Amino acid sequence: MHKHGLDPSLISDLPPFGSLSLEDIGAILEQSSRVAVASGGALFFEGHDADRFFLLLDGYVRVVRITEHGEQIVALHIAAGQLFGIAKALSRNSYPATAEAARDCLALSWPTSLWETFGRDYPGFLTETYRTVGLRVGEMNDRIVEMATLHVEQRIANALLRLVNQAGKATEHGIEIDFPITRRDVSEMTGTTLHTVSRLLSAWESEGIVISRRKKIVVSQPHLLMERAAAQHR
């Protein structure tokens, strides 16, 4: 056991640490701070100095951007086991987005000043981290293409399928998105109106495709939702 009572072996299979020895992981843990944020709270804000970076141990983080017109956009969700707040990997000194707790979150954080030190002292740390950045950029590019080429119904179906893949929990009624999510969240993820999201989710519910309740969405018929997502482009 090391600082925070966390055994290095418990995180040794996570991407940033996969090629490191348990001794090295322990040394990294010794320099971390523990962060707990309740659902709806923020771990950091867009535009603020990126003075720390984080490893999510439990919960889900919602990454939120604000447009020049003041509109909020949910850019992506981050699951436990991933680094975030890694502005240094993007050559930035400020956070490019706000990180909100989609449900109660537990994380470790380190001063950003240690980023280059870890990269120098622990070969493989940055390699795996930049691979994670690449995957997130790829996901963002996919979202941009969807915005430009897909009908609203397809965009919403794709968004729900992504959440099911990232945070799906099997229940007797289907696959539940394992954190509180509102219809407004879905509208902000897909660049559409709350009215449109409500109308489509209500229609899909009547067809038995989803179950939509307050802050909860269950996908009852994933194959039917995939059919909606795979319709022809405009």
Task: With cut-offs at 50, 70 and 90, classify the pLDDT of residue 150.
Answer: confident
**CA-CA-CA-CA torsion sign (126, 81, 186, 184):** negative
**CA-CA-CA-CA torsion sign (220, 226, 228, 229):** positive
- Bridge-partner residues for 219, per DSSP? 175, 210
Helix orientation angle between 152-167 and 125-149, rounded to the nearest 10 degrees = 150
Q: What is the CA radius of gyration of the chain?
A: 19
160: CB partners within 8 A, 6+ apart: 177, 186, 210, 217, 219, 225
| pLDDT(66) > 80 | yes
At residue 234, the pLDDT reads 44
Query: Rounded mean pLDDT of the chain?
Result: 89
Out of 81-95, 138-152, 163-177, 179-193, which region has the weakest mean confidence (pLDDT)? 138-152
**Cα dist from 14 to 86, 99, 149, whole Å:** 16, 20, 35
At residue 44, the pLDDT reads 97
Domains in the chain, start-ordered, CATH in brackets? 3-146 (2.60.120.10), 150-229 (1.10.10.10)
Task: With cut-offs at 50, 70 and 90, classify the pLDDT of residue 145.
Answer: confident
pTM of the entire predicted model: 0.79
At residue 71, the pLDDT reads 78
Cβ atoms within 10 Å, residue 178: 19
At residue 3, the pLDDT reads 58
CA 85 to chain centre: 11
80: CB partners within 8 A, 6+ apart: 56, 57, 58, 59, 60
Cβ contact 47:94 at 8 Å: yes
CA distance 169 to 172: 10
At residue 1, the pLDDT reads 52
| pLDDT(98) > 90 | yes
| pLDDT tens per residue across span 168-225 | 999 999 999 998 899 999 998 888 899 999 999 999 999 999 999 888 999 999 999 9
- pLDDT over 90 percentage in the chain: 56
- pLDDT over 70 percentage in the chain: 97
Cβ contact 180:100 at 8 Å: no
| pLDDT(112) > 60 | yes
Best CA proximity match to 227, nearest among 201, 200, 209: 209
